[in-house]
Every structure is written in C-alpha cells, then in structure tokens.
Amino acid sequence: SGSPTVYTTPLDEEFFNGYDDQGNLFADGFTGDRSDFALVELPKGSSKFVTIKTSNAVQFPGSVQWDGTYLTVFDQITNQFYQYTVSGTTATLKNTIQLTGSSDCAQTWIVKGLVYCGDAGNDNGEVFKYPAGGSPIAVFTGSFDFPLGATAAQK
C-alpha cells in the first residue's frame, strides 16, 4: 500500500530479479545491445543499483536466485546455472550446472534438491535434480504454448 518507490537500474533491458540471503536484490539483463549481459545489485538499505562484474560470460539472462549457498544466474542459451559468490562488485563463478535436454528454461524455480523449469523451447515443464543437473527426472506435458515460468511449493 502507499506510494511505490521507483529505482533506476543501469540495465537497458531487465529480465529477472532475485534476493540473496542478506536481503540484497539482484537483477540481470542487457546494457547496450543484446550482447552486453549485466548483473546488478541493489544492496539492502540502499537506493542505488551497482553493477556486478561476473567472472564468466552469460549469453542470455535467465532466473536469478539464491540457492542456499550461492547466487545463481541461469543462462537460457547454454541451459546452465552459474553459481557465484559475490564480494563487493565482483561475482566469482564457483560451479556450473548443465541441464541436458532443456531448450529454453527462461524462469526456473529451485527447491530443496530440485529445480523446476518452464521450457519455452520444448513447450513443456521439466524437473531436474539440483545441484546435480543432467537430464530431467520428470516432464510435464500438455497444451502448453511457450511456457516461460515455473513455481513450486514444497512441504
């Protein structure tokens, strides 16, 4: 309720947002043309986003999530999760997790031991072991038309 607070990011196109365990907000997207990936952070309590330099190249921004240990960014082109530790304005790649058989998991959802994917390229939903990755352990089929998101609940 009340008046919203508007924040300006350095991104020209913003795709996904996610919080870490400290309450810092991260967003990914592009600056300039669609070849300039960027990750930005709004530190908790701040009103200004800062650019975070990643130690690897992300081809196309996907979900940004905290997995309990790492800040993760999903790459929609390579179908990989990149797990980062963030210190200051640097994100250091610690692990890469490959999802085999997925085509375009735009938005993913990590729950304990699993990751759910709305796969726009395969027009289905997929479930993978996390952080193992690999091939899907379950596939949801139906009359999906370009599914872009996934949400899961776990008891």
Per residue, what are the HEC states of 70-107?
Answer: CEEEEECCCCEEEEEEEECCEEEEEEEEEECCCCCEEE
Q: Whole-model pTM?
A: 0.92
| pLDDT tens column, 17-76 | 999 999 999 999 999 877 799 999 999 999 999 999 999 999 999 999 999 999 999 999
DSSP-derived 3-state class of residue 19: strand
State the Cα–Cα distance between residues 94 and 71, nearest whole angstrom: 10
Nearest Cα neighbor of 84 from 68, 71, 74, 96 is 71
Name residue 134's beta-bridge partners: 99
Where does residue 33 fall: left (phi above 0), alpha (psi -120 to 50 degrees), or beta otherwise?
A: beta
| pLDDT tens column, 72-84 | 999 999 999 999 9
Q: Which residue has the tokens 């907000």?
A: 25
Nearest Cα neighbor of 43 from 20, 13, 69 is 20
Buried b (16+ CB within 10 A) or exposed e, 26-54: bbbbbeeeeeebbbbbbeeeeeebeebeb
∠ CA 147-65-50 to the nearest 5 degrees?
Answer: 115
Torsion angle, CA of 48/61/137/102, rounded to 10 degrees? 170
**pLDDT score recorded for residue 148:** 75
